Amino acid sequence: MNEIRRVTTTAAPLPVATPWFTATRIDEAITLVTEPHVHPLLRANTWHIRGRDHDLLIDTGLGVASLRSALPELVGTHREPVVVLTHAHLDHMGSAHEFTQCWAHDAEPVAEAGRGSLVTDELAGMVGMSALYTDDLPPLLVGAVPDADYDTSTYRLLPTAVTRALAEGDEIDLGDRVLHVLHLPGHSPGSIGLHDRENRILFSGDVVYDEFLLDDLLGSDVAAYRSSMHRLLGMDVDVVHAGHEGSFDGARLHELVDAYLSPPR
């Protein structure tokens, strides 16, 4: 009888990383939460803003570990924040289902089940990342797991109900701080930015960050992206807290926008 041999990969198990999240205090109200063991492509920034009447959580990470249970220690308060999603990509809305309030633009598929993967090839097929780009990526987009039993192959986004649909011009009032909603489509149809005019801060999501910008995903729209970028050119802010990578000033914002809008050489 012929023995059928299947070639299996015997990769070493991933290390267990605890704690999963790291927090960086930006000022007395704003804390950055991130996931250091996630590949930079999916390592998104989660911004917690402490307000007088409400706290806000801008995006929620990948959802590999429970953000809601880790959050009090990370941000120093047990008060449950209102979640605002800049858009519904997996690295931004993974833990949104854990929270009572979830606000997002209604052009984003927040309530859609079964999206997302930590396996690069599978994710590329789902979101339309070009083969050229995925060639540079490792097969798995996490370098650790939050506990020894975590199975990276089963990762999927949990659908989340949007409790308030956000639109251009909406105001989010925290009592001592108001954030203005900017609808900035292009990266995704319902991408939003949040503009704190008084403090001259822009929370930009994936519309602009200090790295290669993605405008060829499923749902991306280059023409819309360009007009969103033209809007950002007209903005005068002191700091941009982006969806990925480090924060930057208004001059760097204009450089990044100019670079995007320049025709390729």
User: In the complex, which residues of this chain contact Zn ion (CB under 5 A)?
Assistant: 89, 206
| CB 151 to Zn ion: min, Å | 24
**Can you tell me the distance from the alpha carbon of 20 to that of 14, in angstroms, rounded to the nearest whole number?**
13
| CB 206 to Zn ion: min, Å | 4
Q: Which residue lies nearer to Zn ion by CB, 50 or 188?
A: 188
SS3 107: coil
Q: Which residue lies nearer to Zn ion by CB, 35 or 55?
A: 35
Q: Which residue lies nearer to Zn ion by CB, 55 or 206?
A: 206
**Can you tell me the distance from the alpha carbon of 6 to that of 2, in angstroms, rounded to the nearest whole number?**
13
| CB 260 to Zn ion: min, Å | 15
| CB 257 to Zn ion: min, Å | 17
| 113-to-12, 55, 164 alpha-carbon distances in Å | 31, 27, 19
Q: Which residue lies nearer to Zn ion by CB, 173 or 211?
A: 211
**Can you tell me the distance from the alpha carbon of 252 to that of 243, in angstroms, rounded to the nearest whole number?**
15
| CB 209 to Zn ion: min, Å | 9
Q: Which residues contact 130 (CB under 8 A, 6 or more apart)?
A: 216
Q: Which residue lies nearer to Zn ion by CB, 50 or 92?
A: 92
Angle (nearest 5°) at CA 109 between 103 and 193: 50
Task: Show the beta-strand stretches assigned E in the chain.
Answer: 22-25, 30-34, 46-49, 56-58, 82-84, 102-105, 164-166, 171-173, 178-183, 192-196, 201-205, 239-242
| CB 85 to Zn ion: min, Å | 10
Q: Which residue lies nearer to Zn ion by CB, 6 or 212?
A: 212
| 35-to-93, 183, 263 alpha-carbon distances in Å | 13, 27, 34
Q: Which residue lies nearer to Zn ion by CB, 89 or 183?
A: 89
| CB 236 to Zn ion: min, Å | 25
Taking the CA atoms of residue 134, residue 140, residue 141 and residue 145 in that order, the dihedral angle to the nearest 10 degrees is: 180
Query: DSSP character for 246?
Result: -
**Can you tell me the distance from the alpha carbon of 66 to that of 72, in angstroms, rounded to the nearest whole number?**
12
